[in-house]
Structure 1
């Protein structure tokens, strides 16, 4: 995606729309995705009132899609949930099944292809959708925000699942706590959780909030250059976590997609280097969208990111189902 140095300014990246050898999966939004062992796993989502419960798999080598045959009791139809990868296991939490918001947790072993529904100790987060979940060192899963049951019930609470003991705790935090929100994005880099944007009901957010996971203290950061406009329904990814051992700061990118301007929803497509806020120029344009996913496959993270994977959809017609790649220029 062009130079990831500290300079402020526009960077160039190569955006590709790879040829899929077979039919694309059904268009959807509010799905989740994980990358494991050369395969992209997509779970759930919604389109036109239909909630999906399938697991789709795309081989990034052959560019073919298939439906994964699984065993066990899965989550059922689900959208606006989260899915994180721990080892070979995809952990799905929360979301909505079309009738109500839920707070259950399911695990799909991507090797055995079996769903399990583990019993967790402690006090789990309340039912919610459009939250975020991130893994910290394969030991903890951090859940932040979302929208709970009822109307305009935006949340800013933080919950941590100990993945070894499968026990939930509610974190007591201090500092500049983010405003309640859903449809935000978040990434973990080292011992910090970065939360960007989101929908607070009366406004869209444009802030970047940082949680020190060791001290449980929230703060905000200001990047150099022009800030992105307020947005929600976007996606974020860190593509320099290991490379940050050799530089002063990690590189975090987010792909935008919805902004509230003059009380109207505006969609757009752009990519920013989180630290310099330098907008990246894409040589091809995939078009505006929201409620998509944005993943990085890190085959060679220490020297460069080999490719960044997009699987996306738009909650406002038309929906999208193609898979895009972006390579650094």
Structure 2
């Protein structure tokens, strides 16, 4: 397989979108929600459908969803925990929300459930936030939303008011709050954090490595940041990582993905001068060094996309916008970009090479039956991934 690949090789392909939610469960990329542009309108994608992409075979399928279906939204925060997709927050036709929903991704039924918490209080309504998953709990950070004036604590600057957006006693703005949701107890709680917290922000990126949650960049007011902070999820202590090398430029609407026990992959986003970006960077959290990663998608800028960890340290980027998000004729994407961030194991190299070349070499075709059963099954699935679509054959 090439160092990176772009796939949507079946005729049925998920719709273009930005601001959606995506997670990988087993070997399936599951995509829900978001919005797309039609003429001069921004239209939410259907809330009762989930698109599932088989990362081995390169095949899309769409499934109907039932149950307590959430409203169509963008900017919600999604994650996978124990085979379930959890979404919190987001923006629908009525504005930001603070509801939480989950759906089982493993039973094939795709039945939504609205979670009614029994302990604690939910965070205020918000979108463009992020989360970490640790020890069976979901820890949410930041976002943009609204609060009543009486709920704003002006002593600790955990909420910065957006002066351009307020109505009477309701104020919109950015926050740096940390909230914990425990699905097993259906409970909300607010940990007492220590150290200097990051500035309030939204449209930032987060990733979890071990017992540490990382947050990178994002926007507050008119500023797009390049800083990176770490929250110890055991001691709840904040610390800022000061890189010892050149750093990526400040940005928002980018992604951050853990690809090893000590490295994070940053991709894309909107720069400080409002330009969509296509650069990829690896951060070694132990040496505190950034390194730009060479990849073949330099002509494919993305922002407000999703990035999910795949097998063998792959990162699967899906959807997003390739233009400044506020343009009337903004273009959205529906291709899956697969980044290779680490060397592949020998089994993966053999599997991909055979699947990619078996049709070109008669010797390979004749010897397929001699492969060990496990490798043969894997190769047969991968052959579908490399099979050209009807459009490619024309």
Q: Same fold (TM over 0.5)?
A: yes
Change (3 A) 1:259 1:92: same
Q: Distance in 1 between matches of 2:279 and 2:297?
A: 11
Q: Distance in 2 between matches of 1:308 and 1:205?
A: 23
Change (3 A) 1:19 1:81: closer
- Could you tell me which residue of structure 2 aligns to residue 10 of structure 1? none
- Could you tell me which residue of structure 2 aligns to residue 97 of structure 1? 92
Q: Distance in 2 between matches of 1:62 and 1:22?
A: 13
- Could you tell me which residue of structure 2 aligns to residue 311 of structure 1? 318
CA deviation map 1:6-59 (0-9, x unaligned):
xxxxxxx82211242123222110001010121110010011321121311111
Q: Tell me the TM-score normalised to structure 2 length.
A: 0.73
Q: Distance in 2 between matches of 1:320 and 1:18?
A: 12
Residue pair 2:197, 2:238 contacting (<8 A) in 1 also: yes
Q: As a proportion of its length, which structure holds more helix? A: 2
CA deviation map 1:110-137 (0-9, x unaligned):
1242111121121111100000022113
**Could you tell me which of 29, 37, 41 is aligned with 2:30?**
41
In structure 2, list runs of 5 or more residues that go unmatched: 148-164, 166-171, 344-394
Q: Distance in 1 between matches of 2:116 and 2:331?
A: 40
> Displacement, 1:73?
1.2
- Could you tell me which residue of structure 2 aligns to residue 271 of structure 1? 280
**2:245 matches 1:225:** yes
- Could you tell me which residue of structure 2 aligns to residue 285 of structure 1? 298
CA deviation map 1:271-294 (0-9, x unaligned):
111122110111343511200001
Change (3 A) 1:113 1:195: same
Where relative contact order (Cα < 8 A, 6+ residues apart) is larger, the structure is 1
Residue pair 2:253, 2:305 contacting (<8 A) in 1 also: yes
**2:183 matches 1:163:** yes
The correspondence of residues 8-47 of structure 1 with structure 2, limited to 5 A, is 14-47=3-36
More deviation, 67-76/82-91: 67-76
- Could you tell me which residue of structure 2 aligns to residue 207 of structure 1? 227
> Displacement, 1:225?
1.5
- Could you tell me which residue of structure 1 aligns to residue 44 of structure 2? 51
Q: Distance in 1 between matches of 2:283 and 2:56?
A: 30
- Could you tell me which residue of structure 1 aligns to residue 386 of structure 2? none
Q: Distance in 2 between matches of 1:215 and 1:29?
A: 35
More deviation, 280-289/216-225: 280-289
SS in 1 for 2:266: strand
SS in 1 for 2:244: coil
Q: Distance in 1 between matches of 2:178 and 2:299?
A: 34
> Displacement, 1:212?
1.3
- Could you tell me which residue of structure 2 aligns to residue 115 of structure 1? 112
Q: Distance in 1 between matches of 2:63 and 2:215?
A: 32
SS in 2 for 1:277: strand
**Could you tell me which of 253, 256, 275 is aligned with 2:265?**
253
SS in 2 for 1:326: strand
More deviation, 26-35/282-291: 282-291
- Could you tell me which residue of structure 1 aligns to residue 154 of structure 2? none
Change (3 A) 1:284 1:31: closer
> Displacement, 1:177?
1.0
Q: Tell me the TM-score normalised to structure 1 length.
A: 0.87
**Could you tell me which of 125, 134, 137 is aligned with 1:140?**
137
Change (3 A) 1:86 1:56: same
Residue pair 2:8, 2:335 contacting (<8 A) in 1 also: no
CA RMSD of aligned residues (A): 1.8
In structure 1, list runs of 5 or more residues that go unmatched: 1-12, 242-249, 299-303
Q: Distance in 2 between matches of 1:284 and 1:117?
A: 38
Change (3 A) 1:202 1:283: closer
